[in-house]
């Protein structure tokens, strides 16, 4: 594996398990993303939970590694270099269909779901002068104007292209630029870019910065129910989401948009009993996870399958059945 990957073994106290337990443990790898984002620390939290609750009691061990993110994680799972991974919901669609950036590799029938983690909330923001209705329909008023797709080959770029395609919009009608969230915000403030979509968990720092410095000149575009359904394209990936009032400076009213989940995936070859124990440990130790990273506060048994498109692993399904959670037919285990 590339040297940049780091295995998270935990503190000295965590690795001081009896040698016989270590010898018998099923040792799993959880692939996350780069060190600066949310995937990595959440992965560390999940691996730490497994060590504390499952290593001695159930002989299930887990270590988190950094990676290049969802695209690489799918490859690592396919090659069984990782058995668990955090994936962006859209890459779940790509895995299911063998489409997008993994088209050459084909359908990834090994990818199974455990649960939704936290959401990537879409934040389409444009100049207020170009948004008379305040809905995503106004994005067409950017024809010929500069729109930032975020960094090239980023999850945000793929999400933008996916949503635009489902809305029947060719992104090439815009003058496309490829800037990260921060540079996109600066370019909008400087009059060099007219729109962007820094998707992420609320609050997104780039939107906070934009509205704090010049809220009256910009508007977050909303999705009504029909627009949200169209943007999803029948995939069951994007679901409506309300950005609460006052999430951003000078935003006194709630805003309706859409969200896709980041989710915990697992190879279909991992035994049902082990995935059951991992699923149970997550939902029965949420305060522990919440204390490690705030993003885990979005994990909820009632919304565990919202936006999930890949079949649920039988081990996770067993736990959901015990808790009375209905699994949609389209993602029930075969």
**Among 196, 222, 248, residue at a domain's last position:** 222
By DSSP bridging, strand 84-88 and strand 255-267 are antiparallel
Per-residue pLDDT of the chain (334 residues; tens, 9 = 90+): 444 444 443 433 333 444 443 446 799 999 998 877 789 999 999 999 999 999 999 999 999 999 988 999 999 999 999 999 999 999 999 999 999 999 999 999 999 999 999 999 999 999 999 999 999 999 999 999 999 999 888 888 999 999 999 999 999 999 999 998 999 999 999 999 999 999 888 889 899 999 999 989 999 999 999 999 999 999 999 999 999 999 999 999 999 999 999 999 999 999 999 999 999 999 999 999 999 998 999 999 999 999 999 999 999 999 999 999 999 999 999 7
Evaluate whether residue 184 is within a structural domain.
yes
Of the candidates 71, 78, 67, the residue with the CA atom closest to the CA atom of residue 30: 67
Structural domain boundaries enclosing 131: 123-222
Looking at the structure, tell me whether residues 87 and 29 fall in a common domain: yes
Of the candidates 150, 121, 124, the residue with the CA atom closest to the CA atom of residue 139: 124
Of the candidates 134, 86, 139, the residue with the CA atom closest to the CA atom of residue 113: 86
Q: What is the DSSP string of 70-122?
A: HHHHHHHHHTTS-SEEEEEHHHHHHHHHT-GGGTTT---TTEEEEEEEEEEE-
- pTM of this prediction? 0.83
Count the alpha carbons within 13 Å of 135 in the hemisphere toward its beta carbon.
10
Looking at the structure, tell me whether residues 92 and 131 fall in a common domain: no
Alpha carbon distance 307, 117 (integer Å): 11
- Contact (Cβ atoms closer than 8 angstroms) between residue 115 and residue 299: yes
Looking at the structure, tell me whether residues 130 and 208 fall in a common domain: yes
177-181-187-190 Cα dihedral, nearest 10 degrees: 160
Looking at the structure, tell me whether residues 205 and 114 fall in a common domain: no
Evaluate whether residue 232 is within a structural domain.
no
Evaluate whether residue 6 is within a structural domain.
no
pLDDT at 6: 47
Looking at the structure, tell me whether residues 153 and 105 fall in a common domain: no
Looking at the structure, tell me whether residues 84 and 169 fall in a common domain: no
Looking at the structure, tell me whether residues 114 and 25 fall in a common domain: yes
Evaluate whether residue 245 is within a structural domain.
no
Looking at the structure, tell me whether residues 210 and 139 fall in a common domain: yes
**Among 222, 253, 270, residue at a domain's last position:** 222
Which CATH number characterizes residue 285's domain? Answer: 3.40.190.10
Angle, in degrees to the nearest 10, between helices 70-78 and 89-97: 40
* Residue 153 structure tokens: 């080959």
* Residue 60 structure tokens: 């299930």
Looking at the structure, tell me whether residues 158 and 134 fall in a common domain: yes
Number of domains in the chain: 2
Alpha carbon distance 147, 174 (integer Å): 6
Of the candidates 94, 36, 90, the residue with the CA atom closest to the CA atom of residue 68: 36
Evaluate whether residue 324 is within a structural domain.
yes
Alpha carbon distance 256, 94 (integer Å): 26
Looking at the structure, tell me whether residues 133 and 207 fall in a common domain: yes
* Residue 267 structure tokens: 């190879």
Evaluate whether residue 12 is within a structural domain.
no
257-262-268-271 Cα dihedral, nearest 10 degrees: -120
Looking at the structure, tell me whether residues 42 and 67 fall in a common domain: yes
Evaluate whether residue 289 is within a structural domain.
yes
Alpha carbon distance 307, 260 (integer Å): 6
Alpha carbon distance 39, 44 (integer Å): 9
Looking at the structure, tell me whether residues 99 and 128 fall in a common domain: no
Evaluate whether residue 85 is within a structural domain.
yes
pLDDT at 152: 85
């Amino acid at each position: 594996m590339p040297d940049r990957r780091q295995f998270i073994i935990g503190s000295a106290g965590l690795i001081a398990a009896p040698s016989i337990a270590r010898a018998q443990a099923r040792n799993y790898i959880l692939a996350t993303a780069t060190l600066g984002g949310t995937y990595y620390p959440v992965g560390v939290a999940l691996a730490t939970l497994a060590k504390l609750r499952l290593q001695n009691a159930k002989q299930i061990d887990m270590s988190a590694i950094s990676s290049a993110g969802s695209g690489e994680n799918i490859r690592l799972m396919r090659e069984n270099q990782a058995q668990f991974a955090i994936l962006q919901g859209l890459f779940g669609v790509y895995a299911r269909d063998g489409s997008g950036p993994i088209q050459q590799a084909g359908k990834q029938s090994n990818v199974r779901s455990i649960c939704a983690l936290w959401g990537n909330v879409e934040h389409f923001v444009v100049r207020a002068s170009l948004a008379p209705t305040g809905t995503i329909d106004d994005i067409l008023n950017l024809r010929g104007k500069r729109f930032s797709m975020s960094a090239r080959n980023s999850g945000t770029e793929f999400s933008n292209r996916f949503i635009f395609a489902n809305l029947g919009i060719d992104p090439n009608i815009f003058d496309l630029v490829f800037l990260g969230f921060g540079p996109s915000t600066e370019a909008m403030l400087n009059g060099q870019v007219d729109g962007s979509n820094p998707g992420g968990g609320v609050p997104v720092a780039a939107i906070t910065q934009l509205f704090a410095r010049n809220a009256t000149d910009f508007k977050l575009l909303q999705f009504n129910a029909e627009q949200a359904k169209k943007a999803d394209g029948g995939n069951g990936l994007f679901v409506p989401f309300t950005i609460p009032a006052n999430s951003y400076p000078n935003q006194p009213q709630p805003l309706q948009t859409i969200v896709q989940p980041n989710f915990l995936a697992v190879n279909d070859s991992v035994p049902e009993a082990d995935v059951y124990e991992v699923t149970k440990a997550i939902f029965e130790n949420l305060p522990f996870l919440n204390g490690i990273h705030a993003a885990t506060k979005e994990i909820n048994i009632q919304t565990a399958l919202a936006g999930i498109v890949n079949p649920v692993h039988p081990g996770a399904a067993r736990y959901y059945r015990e808790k009375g959670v209905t699994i949609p037919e389209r993602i029930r285990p075969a």
